[in-house]
């Protein structure tokens, strides 16, 4: 659920897993279908808060996708994920760690997030983000420059809010909605540490 352009779906399908993928963005689904031809992945358009796809061993939502939901809507999503899982099914997701971002986040100044060259184009992305520590809302402000040679660059600006959480808040929300936490990791696969991990990657299990 929230498969985006299909990175995890393709990875899993290539390793023999039977994969059904879902996203709210029709544009991203088109890209995912094109990238995954011949792998037998079933792609579906739908909202993580209410889509019904069947009963699965596991549901995965990565790349901070749950951060695009309000707290209330994330709880709706958790309950709907449960509806799409078998008994004792696994739900895996990730999100920025509010405790870490409150202490060490890069806020109040612009910084380069990505710089790369591909097919003769140079892509440079700048971020200038803000954080409301009380509400756990991070406002993302991005400018992406795309330039070929010394031509005038194309500049795309985007801004959106992202709801982020600390570990204790997630544990409470998951427990309230029928899940227990099995494992937690940082983005590099090391064990999660409340005040030192930028991300919280959670492996949770449906308990009711």
Per-residue pLDDT of 14-25, as tens digits, reads 999 999 999 999
Q: What is the pLDDT of residues 152-205, one digit of tens each?
A: 999 999 999 999 999 999 999 999 999 999 999 999 999 999 999 999 999 999
What's the confidence (pLDDT) of residue 26? 97
pTM value?
0.94
162 C-beta neighbours (distance < 10 Å), count: 18
Domain 100-163: which CATH class?
A: mainly beta
**Class for the domain spanning 7-97+165-206:** alpha beta
Buried b (16+ CB within 10 A) or exposed e, 138-159: bebebbbeebeeeeeeeeeeee
Domain boundaries in the chain? 7-97+165-206, 100-163
Among 164, 165, 158, which Cα is nearest to 140's? Answer: 158
Residue 26 token pair: 């029709």
* Rounded-to-integer distance, Cα 43 and Cα 29, Å: 7
From the list 175, 198, 179, the residue with the least C-alpha distance to 187 is 198
């Amino acid at each position: 659920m929230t498969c985006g352009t299909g990175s995890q779906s393709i990875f899993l399908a290539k390793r023999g897993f039977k994969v059904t993928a879902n996203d709210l963005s029709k544009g991203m689904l088109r890209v995912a279908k094109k990238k995954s031809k011949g792998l037998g992945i079933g792609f579906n358009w739908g909202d993580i808060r209410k889509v019904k796809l069947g009963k699965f061993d596991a549901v995965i939502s990565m790349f901070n996708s749950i951060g695009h939901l309000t707290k209330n809507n994330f709880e709706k999503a958790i309950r709907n994920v449960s509806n799409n899982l078998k008994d004792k099914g696994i739900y895996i997701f990730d999100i920025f760690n509010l405790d870490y971002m409150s202490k060490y986040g890069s806020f109040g100044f612009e910084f380069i997030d990505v710089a790369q060259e591909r097919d003769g184009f140079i892509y440079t992305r700048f971020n200038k983000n803000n954080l409301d520590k009380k509400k756990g809302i991070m406002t993302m402000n991005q400018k992406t420059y795309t330039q070929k040679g010394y031509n005038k660059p194309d500049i795309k600006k985007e801004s959106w809010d992202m709801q982020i959480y600390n570990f204790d808040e997630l544990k409470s929300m998951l427990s309230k909605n029928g899940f227990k936490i099995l494992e937690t990791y940082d983005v590099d696969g090391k064990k999660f540490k409340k005040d030192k991990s930028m991300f919280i990657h959670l492996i949770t299990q449906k308990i009711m």
